[in-house]
Structure 1
Amino acid sequence: MKNLFALLLVLLSFGSYAQSQQEVIPLTLSESLQYALENNVNAKNARLEVLVAKATTKEETSKGLPQINGSFNINYNPQIPVVFLPNEPPFGDPSIPGDVIPARFGVSYQSGLGVTVSQMIFDGSFFVGLRAAKTFAELTEFDQLKVENDVIEAVKKAYYGVLVNERRIELSEANLARIDSLLEETKALNEAGFTEKIDVSRIQVQRNNTSTALSRAITAYEISKQLLKIQMGLPKEYDIQITESLAELNPEEELNEILTMEGLRRVEEDQVQKSLELTNLDLKYNQSQYMPTLFFNGNYQRSGAGNSLSTTFESINWFGSSLLGVTLNIPIFDGLAKSARIQKNRVQMQQLENQRSFLQDNIALEIYQARQTLANDLDILKVQQDNMALAQEVFDIAKIKYNEGVGSNIEVVDADAALKEAEINFLAALYDGLIAKVDLEKALGILKSNLNF
């Protein structure tokens, strides 16, 4: 934890400045995972999605609370509308020609100030919608857990990739040192007349190949570190240094325990279960649409008018009005739209039931395959480790024989090539075993439960 706090302090202190030289940050696997869960883009978005779901729940709750709105308006009539009246007794005016009298009703300025209140008394869909919002919030929490599991899986594999490539560099450097020593000895023997020039050239070719392999190992190591930083969400201007070894991270007793572990409930099962609950609530929501709704409505307003703007707001020209009432809405016929939505919900529930059943079978198969793969990879790793030791022994014997003049240069070169091949096979088996371990942890649902923070 102290190393992690130091890491965060470095990032906060130097994050806004361009560095001419990369800051090297020591990391353990636990610290890498903790940092990734906080800074990986997918993990951050998953946490934000949970906040969105919680806000949606509040939004649904607000629909059951009083809805209060205020209003204010002021209107000016450049031309007051004309109303036509019949020009007939007893209201007719003989001085006006024609059978109608134009009259203007209204004033130049009008204003109003009001408040409206609405309160739901009964709406069956509201309670279903509220439950659905809460269930959706729970689903987003499971989605977040699923994303975190994916982040942990990716970071673990990337972290192991860095360690394997680090080991690859160590072996390549040892190979280069060994072949350089052999090359110097062979050159000395050639200068003394005990070996031919072709023996030197043969080892020089082997030395060049070894140097190329070392360069490739260094490149692969740098690429694997960049991949780890991306998975962690670590800015590219920082460099990392792994502070743990493969043996520390994968003790033999832990490997034996995981091979016999039963596992936990997978988050994918919880996701399907919540999706099924949401679809069932959607079904109930559509069914509730057949029920009537009852709302209370209230309104209070004051209105004023005047022929000039200054007289419009005089209190003598303002009058109040109010309204109280209830509204009952009774659904009668909607063209069978609700019936179609209900049928769709029932089909969707059947699909999710099928998906849940398939998921359970698939999880069982994943566990079986991952367990068998890990057991097989561990056996292969043991064989390749023994094979590498034998290849080292063969090389040492071939070199001793060559130095004593009872062996050929070709035997040494062949033994060196066989040793390199054994090392490559060992590294491949090592990486496969590490990936298989992560896959089994995922299949068992223990990726996050194994974390120590």
Structure 2
Amino acid sequence: MSKYVLLYLVAGALLFPNVSSGQEVMGKSGQLALTLEQCIQYALDHGPGMQQAFLDEKIGDREIKSSLSGWYPQVSANASANNNIKLQQQPIGGELITFGQKYNSGILLQVDQQIINRDQIFAGRTSKYIRKQYEQNIENVEIATVVDISKAYYDILLTFEQLKILDENLLRQEKQYNDAKSRFESGLVDKTDYQRAAITLSNIKSDQRRAKESVHAKKAFLKQLMGYPSDEDIALSYDYNKMETEALADTSRNLRPEERIEYRQIQTEENLAQLNTGYQKWAYLPKISASYNYNWNYFNNSISKLYAQSYPTSTLGLTLAFPIFQGGKRHQEIRIAELQQEKIKVAKNDLEKQINTEYQTALAKYKSDLFEWKTIKSNMELAEEVYDIIKLQYDEGIKAYVDLIVAETELRTAQLNHYNAMYNLLSSKIDLDRALGNIEI
């Protein structure tokens, strides 16, 4: 399996040569790294959801072929052998006459051909819509796959960015801890600065450990969605500046429900319901079929001579079955089909409202997350400036150590919040694209 995965990644690297020097790699050194596009393509080829959708399509195709096979001649053969223990007897003219012989056997070859059959007509007319349903189901799963993979991918990468922040904070705090310890040992300050530095350092290490552990779980989730081998490590390639650009969306685009796959699916259901109503109205159609059979009959009182001579018969026939009265069943079935059509129309109207609600919700959340991200980004830049000033003042002996700790904590919080806000913005942008039917596959 690992060899096939390696070959796939090599092919993916050739197909998607967009890993530039501006991108960063998260994974083991020297390991091929996957971009978002490659992760999505791998999931579309190997993901469990996609595999099930393709299998459903194959099963549906076989079911359609099975239902249409009724138009072809149906050939069957039957064989029988009987030991007539008690032959029929009847008195005729004062004599007891025995009919038949002790042993008989028969071989029947039967050929039936449907000429007019409403079930077969209905199967033929609905087959293209049923195939369309399976195609639309695959498209729906593809869209869900793109959305889920994108969110899982961004979640990992932004967690990795948070780890970078924590690593930087850890180095900075270790220096401050060592400085505070030296000052304490030199008798320049009391032990509170040293103790505060130790507490802050411990908190950063705890946050760092938690983030590192979460990466393993998030990678496992991504591999599950992709259908990626769970025992293989996965490396991801990304460009944070590109992610910021991709997070921006055109909020002026108008909503068109027909661009949503769910809307096209219910349109297909509507077409099938219309055909079903027509099918129920065809109940008056006769069933016409042709048949041909050839029967080899064998009779003898001795079983050893049973097949010595045959007495064949053959029949060519045409059968017409015409429904005359069904107790009102046809009327009731037509009415049920019409009510089902009305039900789908109600569901279609409700779906349009649901799509509009999803769009308005996604648009509002995106605008809110965009504003929050810009605000937090501005706060982060401000927190960086405040920290630099307070750090300089602390080194000059103007500010107390507690002020430096507060500035350090505010900076770290602002930086981590910034990446959380970025993930929320990317997720809401994906949800907005999905609400608009704008997910590219």
TM-score by length of 1: 0.87
SS state at 1:151 partner: helix
Residue ranges of structure 2 left out of the alignment (5+ in a row): 12-27
Partner residue, 1:209: 203
Task: State the partner residue of 2:90.
Answer: 85
Which of 108, 117, 120 does residue 114 from structure 1 map onto?
108
Instruction: Report the Cα distance in structure 2 between the residues aligned to 1:393 and 1:250, rounded to whole angstroms.
Output: 22
Shift of 1:328: 1.2
Q: Find the aligned partners of 1:84 and 1:246 in 2 and give their Cα distance.
A: 99
User: Which position in structure 1 is the counterpart of 2:388?
Assistant: 396
Q: Distance in 2 between matches of 1:292 and 1:202?
A: 93
Residue 375 (structure 2) aligned to one of 348, 362, 383: 383
Task: Give the AA of the match of 2:8.
Answer: L
Matched residue SS, 2:292: strand
222-231 vs 59-68, which moves further: 59-68
2:135 is aligned, of 131, 134, 141, to 141
What is the Cα deviation at residue 142 of structure 1? 0.6
Select which of 258, 272, 275 maps to 1:278. Answer: 272
- The number of residue pairs the alignment matches comes to 420
- 1:341: which partner in 2? 333
Q: Does 1:411 align with 2:414?
A: no
Following the alignment from structure 2 to structure 1, what is the Cα–Cα distance between the partners of residues 225 and 316? 61
- Counterpart of 2:25 in structure 1 is none
1:427 aligned partner:
419
Aligned-partner Cα distance in 2 for 1:212–1:226 = 22
Quick one: which amino acid aligns to residue 122 of structure 1? I
Kept after mapping to 2: 8 A contact 1:60/1:133: no
Measure how far apart 1:6 and its partner are.
4.3
Select 1:294's aligned residue among 285, 288, 293: 288
Instruction: Determine if the alignment matches structure 1 residue 198 to structure 2 residue 192.
Output: yes
- How far residue 263 of structure 1 moved from its aligned partner, in angstroms, is 6.1
**In the TM superposition, what is the alpha-carbon distance from 1:58 to its structure 2 partner?**
1.6
Shift of residue 279 of structure 1?
Answer: 1.2
The structure having more radius of gyration, on CA atoms, is 1
CA deviation profile, 1:67-109 (whole Å, cap 9, x unmatched): 1212223x241x62143433x7x433xxxxxxxx5x6544343
Aligned partner of residue 348 in structure 1, secondary structure: helix
Moved more, 406-415 or 358-367: 358-367
Alignment of 1:50-449 (within 5 A): 50-73=57-80, 75-77=81-83, 80-86=85-91, 90-92=93-95, 101=96, 105-251=99-245, 254-256=246-248, 258-262=250-254, 265-314=259-308, 317-447=309-439, 449=440
1:283-336 deviations in Å (ceiling 9; x for gaps): 11111122221111221111113333431222xx20110112211111122232
CA separation in 1, counterparts of 2:282 and 2:172?
A: 81
Question: Is the CA contact 1:263–1:446 (under 8 Å) kept in the aligned structure 2?
Answer: no
Q: Could you say which residue in structure 2 is the equivalent of 1:18?
A: none
Identity %: 27
The CA deviation string for residues 99-127 of structure 1, in whole angstroms up to 9 with x for no partner, is xx5x6544343222221111122223422
Query: How far apart, CA to CA, are the structure 2 residues paired with 1:334 and 1:318?
Result: 44
Q: CA deviation at 1:255?
A: 4.7
Number of the residue aligned with 1:97: none
Report deviation, 1:7. 4.8
> What is the CA distance between 1:10 and its match in structure 2?
8.4
C-alpha RMSD over aligned residues: 2.4
Q: Secondary structure at the match of 2:324?
A: coil
Q: 1:255 to 1:218 in 2, by over 3 A?
A: closer
Partner Cα separation in structure 1 for residue 206 and residue 153 of structure 2: 24
Q: Contact 1:183 / 1:204 at 8 angstroms: preserved in 2?
A: yes
Displacement, 1:397? Answer: 1.8
Please give the TM-score of this superposition, normalised by the length of structure 2.
0.89
Query: Which of 186-195 and 326-335 deviates more?
Result: 326-335
